[in-house]
């Protein structure tokens, strides 16, 4: 075990880092502050093939290993976490379609999703159900060759660009346990009765929109049922969330790394009491803590990703990586702000954006408390020995 990326992974990392430094970093502060959608960056990501990260090669994708996948999200998030968000739910949903779609669904959607010609997202959360996904009320009632779908989805990132949008519904609301009555429908953007009703104002994560989606007697053809069999939706989504947690863990590493690097640089330049502030032990302790948190979060992310690459379940590992990484991101963003003094509170530095973006890492793809419960369930269910 040498904890090194392979030559190929290092080359991939260098390519994505160069792209992020050249195309994203220079515009991030201004565009984020303006709330501007980064169409130009999206076009460049298409050229790099990044919308096909999780799409199998036979459908035109890159099908990268999960460690390389995590490298993309770390590098993008270092420059601007919001841009990583544009790829995040797209990659998760494309993975889900590749894993569980019928052959017809894969042929219909994956080639266009791989190039970014069409994009996708994932609609799980509702105004009254987030952690408790089995408590959703969006209902799909069969009517001949169609489902009639009614309900509201909330916080759906990338919804305005999603075609199709995979939507978690109840096809059998009376099923017990509830998850056996849940299915995913691939809803085409031009479906009558389907609309993206509003963008939800948010603290950070600017760039991509997070929106409310309304299904008002939307008529969805039966052939759009993911995998063609009712009652599989909850399982399909949970499998996808494993990929989603590795993605969020990696974004967290990016925020933690950038917060640390900004602090290191500033502490070398800023002088107080006649010397650079990096000469004060209080600042040195913060830098040491930030670097240690970042590296431990990165190694955990690669560990979880490697398990997924080996074809093993990474449910507990990806939960640990996401929980630990997001706490590292939050702590580093705040410590970086402290190292920057008043400058850290200024819109003229990037630290305030990192500080606003970091907390989402502890919410998306399962709140950290929910993930701790996932971890604990595995520990008490027989996986108690972890070392």
Ligand X SMILES: Cc1cc2nc3c(=O)[nH]c(=O)nc-3n(C[C@H](O)[C@H](O)[C@H](O)COP(=O)(O)OP(=O)(O)OC[C@H]3O[C@@H](n4cnc5c(N)ncnc54)[C@H](O)[C@@H]3O)c2cc1C
Helix pair angle (7-19, 66-79), 10° resolution? 20
Residue 98 near ligand X by CB under 6 A: no
One character per residue 67-96, x = contact with ligand X (rule: CB under 6 A) = ----------------------x-------
- Tell me the H-state helices in the chain: 7-19, 25-34, 39-48, 66-79, 81-100, 103-115, 233-269, 281-309, 315-340, 351-357, 368-378
Q: Among 12, 73, 205, 323, which residue sits at the site for ligand X (rule: CB under 6 A)?
A: 205
CB 91 within 8 A of CB 69: yes
Q: Which is nearer to ligand X, 267 or 375 (CB)?
A: 375
Residue 131 near ligand X by CB under 6 A: yes
The string over 32-64, giving b where at least 16 C-beta atoms fall within 10 Å of a residue's C-beta and e elsewhere, is beeeebbeebbeebbebbbbbbbbbeebbbbbb
Q: Among 22, 142, 202, 383, which residue sits at the site for ligand X (rule: CB under 6 A)?
A: 202
Q: Among 52, 164, 233, 364, which residue sits at the site for ligand X (rule: CB under 6 A)?
A: 364
Active site residue: 74, 327, 352, 365, which one?
365
Residue 22 near ligand X by CB under 6 A: no
Distance, in Å, from the CA atom of 234 to the CA atom of 318, rounded to the nearest integer, reads: 18
User: In what side-by-side order are the strands of the sheet with 194-199?
Assistant: 182-187, 165-170, 139-143, 146-157, 210-221, 194-199
Residues 6+ apart with CB under 8 A from 208: 37, 82, 85, 86, 157, 158
Residue 369 near ligand X by CB under 6 A: yes
365 is catalytic: yes
Q: Which is nearer to ligand X, 42 or 277 (CB)?
A: 42
Q: Which is nearer to ligand X, 138 or 336 (CB)?
A: 138
CB 66 within 8 A of CB 305: yes
Q: How far is the CB of 92 from ligand X (least distance, A)?
A: 9
Residue nearest to ligand X (CB): 130
Residue 130 near ligand X by CB under 6 A: yes
Residue 156 near ligand X by CB under 6 A: yes
Distance, in Å, from the CA atom of 165 to the CA atom of 284, rounded to the nearest integer, reads: 47
- Please identify, among the stretches 34-42, 221-229, 255-263, 362-370, the one whose residues bind ligand X according to the rule CB under 6 A: 362-370
One character per residue 223-252, x = contact with ligand X (rule: CB under 6 A) = ------------------------------
Q: Among 277, 360, 361, 375, which residue sits at the site for ligand X (rule: CB under 6 A)?
A: 360
Q: How far is the CB of 205 from ligand X (least distance, A)?
A: 5
| Cis, bond preceding 370 (omega within 30 deg of 0) | no
Q: Which is nearer to ligand X, 111 or 204 (CB)?
A: 204
Q: Give the helix/strand (H/E) hosting 165.
A: strand 165-170
Distance, in Å, from the CA atom of 149 to the CA atom of 165, rounded to the nearest integer, reads: 13
Q: Single out the residue of 99, 74, 89 nearest to residue 9, CA to CA.
A: 74
Q: How far is the CB of 356 from ligand X (least distance, A)?
A: 11
Residue 125 near ligand X by CB under 6 A: yes
Q: How far is the CB of 210 from ligand X (least distance, A)?
A: 4
Residue 214 near ligand X by CB under 6 A: no
Q: Which is nearer to ligand X, 123 or 351 (CB)?
A: 123
Q: Among 70, 91, 138, 157, which residue sits at the site for ligand X (rule: CB under 6 A)?
A: 157
Q: Single out the residue of 72, 77, 107, 75 nearest to residue 91, CA to CA.
A: 72
Q: Which is nearer to ligand X, 223 or 369 (CB)?
A: 369
Residues belonging to the active site: 365
Catalog residues that contact ligand X under the rule CB under 6 A: 89, 121-125, 130-132, 155-157, 202, 205, 210, 360, 363-364, 367, 369-370
């Amino acid at each position: 075990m040498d904890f090194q990326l392979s030559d190929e992974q290092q080359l991939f990392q260098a390519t994505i880092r160069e792209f992020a430094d050249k195309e994203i970093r220079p515009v991030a502060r201004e565009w984020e502050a303006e709330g501007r959608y980064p169409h130009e960056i999206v076009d460049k990501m298409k050229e790099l093939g990044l919308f096909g990260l999780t799409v199998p090669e036979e459908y035109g994708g890159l099908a990268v290993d999960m460690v390389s996948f995590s490298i993309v999200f770390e590098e993008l998030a270092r420059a601007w976490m919001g841009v990583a968000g544009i790829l995040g739910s797209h990659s998760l949903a494309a993975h889900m379609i590749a894993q569980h779609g019928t052959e017809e669904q894969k042929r219909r959607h994956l080639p266009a999703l791989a190039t970014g010609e069409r994009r996708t997202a994932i609609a799980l959360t509702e105004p009254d159900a987030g952690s408790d996904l089995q408590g959703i009320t969006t209902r799909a009632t069969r009517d001949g060759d169609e489902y009639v779908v009614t309900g509201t989805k909330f916080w759906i990132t990338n919804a305005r660009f999603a075609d199709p949008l995979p939507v978690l519904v109840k096809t059998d609301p009376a099923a017990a346990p509830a998850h056996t009555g849940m299915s995913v429908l691939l809803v085409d953007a031009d479906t009558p009765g389907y609309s993206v009703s509003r963008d939800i104002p948010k603290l950070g994560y600017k760039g991509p929109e997070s929106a409310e989606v309304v299904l008002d007697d939307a008529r969805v053809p039966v052939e759009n049922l993911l995998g063609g069999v009712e009652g599989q939706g909850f399982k399909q989504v949970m499998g996808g969330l494993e990929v989603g947690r590795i993605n969020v863990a990696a974004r967290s590493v990016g925020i933690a790394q950038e917060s640390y690097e900004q602090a290191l640089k500033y502490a070398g330049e800023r002088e107080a009491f006649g010397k650079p502030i990096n000469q004060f032990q209080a600042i040195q302790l913060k830098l040491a803590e930030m670097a240690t948190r970042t590296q431990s979060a990165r190694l955990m992310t690669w560990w979880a990703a490697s398990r997924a690459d080996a074809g093993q379940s990474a449910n507990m590992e990806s939960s640990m990586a996401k929980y630990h990484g997001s706490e590292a991101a939050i702590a580093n963003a705040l410590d970086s702000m402290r190292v920057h003094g008043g400058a850290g509170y200024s819109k003229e530095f990037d630290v305030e954006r990192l500080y606003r973006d970091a907390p989402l890492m502890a919410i998306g793809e399962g709140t950290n408390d929910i993930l701790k419960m996932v971890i604990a369930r595995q520990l008490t269910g027989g996986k108690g020995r972890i070392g």
